[in-house]
Amino acid sequence: MAYACEAYVAPDQHMCGETHCTRLADTSEDTAWCKCLDWQGNKIPNCEPKGSTVPIKSYSCYNQATGEQRNISEDACQDLRDRDRNWKWSACYCCCSCFAWDTKIRVSETEVRFIQDIEEEDEILAAWIEPNPDGTVKVTWKPRLVGYSDGTSPSSQPQTMVMIQYGEDGELIATPDQLMLMPDGRLKDAKRLVPGDLMVDDDGRPVAVNSVHLGEYSGGIQHLGLGPVPEDTNVPVSGNLFSANGIIVGDFWLQVTHGAEPESEGKTLVAGHSALPMIGSEAYATARSGDADLFSARQPGYEPRPVRNRNFRGYEARAALNIPANASLYVTPAQAEAIAQAPHYPLSMDYNLADFRWLQKALQPFFPDINIYLEWSDEVPNLYAFELFGQKTLYVSGRILRTHEMYWQGLAAILAHGIAVFYAGKGAEGQYPCVAQADSFGIGYVLRTAFDPNWGETANGGYAQVRTFFGHIPEDLRGGDPDNPCRLPAVNCRLQAMEAAIIGRPLPACAGVPQKGRLELKRATFEIIEDVPSVKVSFSEAVGPSAEILGNYTITPETVITTALRDADDRTLVVLTVTLPDPAAGEYELSVQNILAADGSTLNALARTAYFVVEAEEEQ
């Protein structure tokens, strides 16, 4: 069986059984979580209704060998486990509750009603169909009881929906996985419709799709299931169809039993259904050539009509707009472009959206001065942290959420990095902390502050998912800038910084964060380089411009230092050209002072002296 929210459940988790989910939908807990209504039907303050793609966690007794589930108590499950170790008490998931409110449903030959006004045990007209050779469909309408009616009320947090314009004046707004009847008697979901497709009207006549537009919808949505809960997944098309705004569509039972089942393709669903491109994907736009983009498609020459439903706003191509030039970026622009090539879900699948909104609410009480803003239609995967007109803001691209193998823990770690930009202090270059420093502080402080009881699970899961996210960055973009490790650290250094926060170690030196006394003078050797007496000076890490100031070196016996230059390829190495005393042979002491590492770290007072020897044969 397929569920609308199944793609949003982690690979190591599983869905609950259909009976389990139907029972759950009748509970006050489901009503509260999914619809934001208390047991008396009153709206719960500060609660945002969830859509059909949002999983709700429950528990069942699960057999690891057979996949069988039983909706029984934990004690009863333990009794089963005592007899068969394959049984275990395990988390499973159901979906929260497809059409926009004010969709007109045909309830009799002469009457239509708005979908939100139809309740369980009400009677509406159901369609039995028989395709004709001429491309029309013979439709027989019969009354049938509604066995399931569920939905969500209008919300300030919009959901992704598909708006379809068809025929002379038809318009329908539906969830992306809503099934539509085709003239051959098979079904196709809304997100795979293309202009020129033929749907079927109430009289069985084909009706052309003129345009399809993806957008956000803030009104209420509603599901209808005809008849009782199906006993198995072999739900017939006939009898489970009804009329919505004059178009024949599938009911909820068809949607959850056939919506993503491979064995339904070519039978209940159109042939090759799962391989058809979805609106919101590059493949969809490419297939339609000049008549489509990521967010919409239309028939050549067709000018889309103004949308009648004021709660729908079509997506438009949008990148990170109005971002200050001094914003702190999660990854570099080049890295973001590389990650954008990674496998990802299309815009029509609101992947991770509910978890992101939950994270916004979970973090807000602890960091109330920070505004977390999501731009769902931004296709460049990055996060920007900046302060503008006194408001600290995190701007998050929706592409981060839609990247494969990203879950709530990874999102938490990325958001924690953004928050750390404002809380982890200033880096070597001023306004914001070093990038790897924000990675470490985000894991070690921000996540611990917001998720203390579950900090380990959140931090370790977040680290693993960010590592996968960074894995899409090619080698030539992973090395960072050794001359600017604070702002441009290597990818591996960022991962080391996060890992250090998890296991309780200090920041690695590669993070570019200044530390008192970390820089050490390691050794000095005398060489003749291009006929010039020289001293090679090695430090424990890359040094900054202060290493080229002559006054920061003293050599005893007294030696004149004429130049000090950092090696272009190895910034831990400085070459001094010298004029030696006469005679020159003997041991010398080199002392350094006031030299800073490239990240601003200061000298260790106990490691600022080195010795070198000039042999007699080396004298010039």
Indicate whether 437 and 390 sit together in one domain: yes
Q: Is residue 361 part of a domain?
A: yes
Residue 20 has a pLDDT of 62
Question: Kind of pairing, strands 391-397 and 383-388?
Answer: antiparallel
pLDDT, residue 1, reads 39
**Is 247 exposed, middle or buried (CB count within 10 Å of its CB: 0-12, 13-18, 19+)?**
buried
Residues 145 and 292 both lie in one domain:
yes
How many other β-carbons are positioned within 10 Å of the β-carbon of residue 215?
22
444-471 in b/e form (b: 16+ CB < 10 A) is bbbbbebbeeebeebbebbbebbbebbe
Percent with pLDDT over 90 in the chain: 59
Same domain? For 538 and 500 the reply is no
CATH code, 572: 2.60.40.1220
Dump pLDDT digits (tens) for 69-120.
Answer: 888 888 889 999 999 999 998 888 776 546 778 899 999 999 999 999 999 9
Is 313 domain-assigned?
A: no
Give the tens place of pLDDT for each residue, 557-599. 999 999 999 999 999 999 999 999 999 999 999 999 999 998 7
* 279, 174: one domain: yes
Pair 75, 206 in one domain: no
Question: Which residues are 225's β-sheet partners?
Answer: 148
Say which amino acid occupies 584: A
Cis peptide before 557 (omega within 30 of 0): yes
**Is residue 320 domain-resident?**
no
**Would you say residue 303 lies in a domain?**
no
Tell me the whole-structure pTM to 2 decimals: 0.69
Average pLDDT over residues 428-454: 89
Q: Does 543 share its domain with 570?
A: yes
Last residue of a domain, one of 79, 95, 111: 95
> 150 and 226 in one domain?
yes
Q: What is the pLDDT of residues 160-174, one digit of tens each?
A: 899 999 999 999 999
Phi–psi pair at 587, nearest 5 degrees: -95, 140
Q: What is the CATH number of the domain that holds 109?
A: 2.170.16.10
- 63 plus 151 within the same structural domain: no
Please give the residue range of the domain that contains residue 26. Answer: 6-95
The band of 40, judged by pLDDT with boundaries at 50, 70 and 90, is: low
Tokens 């590669």, residue located:
510
Same domain membership, residue 241 and residue 196: yes
Residue after which a domain boundary falls, among 479, 511, 543: 511
Rounded mean pLDDT of the chain? 87
CA gap 114, 121 in Å, rounded? 16
Residue whose entry in the numeric block shows the structure tokens 């080199």: 590
Q: Is residue 1 part of a domain?
A: no
Cα dihedral: 578, 582, 588, 591 (round 10): -50
> What number is the average pLDDT over the span 451-459?
93
**For the chain, how big is the Rg over CA atoms in Å?**
32
The verdict on residue 316 lying in a domain is no
Q: Are 483 and 570 in contact (CB under 8 A)?
A: no
Assess whether 364 and 454 both reside in one domain: yes
Domain end marker among 35, 66, 95:
95
14 and 87 belong to one structural domain: yes
What's the structural domain count of the chain?
4
| Residue 394: inside a domain | yes
Domain membership flag for residue 252: yes
- Asked if residue 16 lies in contact with residue 92, where contact means CB atoms within 8 angstroms, the answer is yes
Q: Indicate whether 279 and 146 sit together in one domain.
A: yes
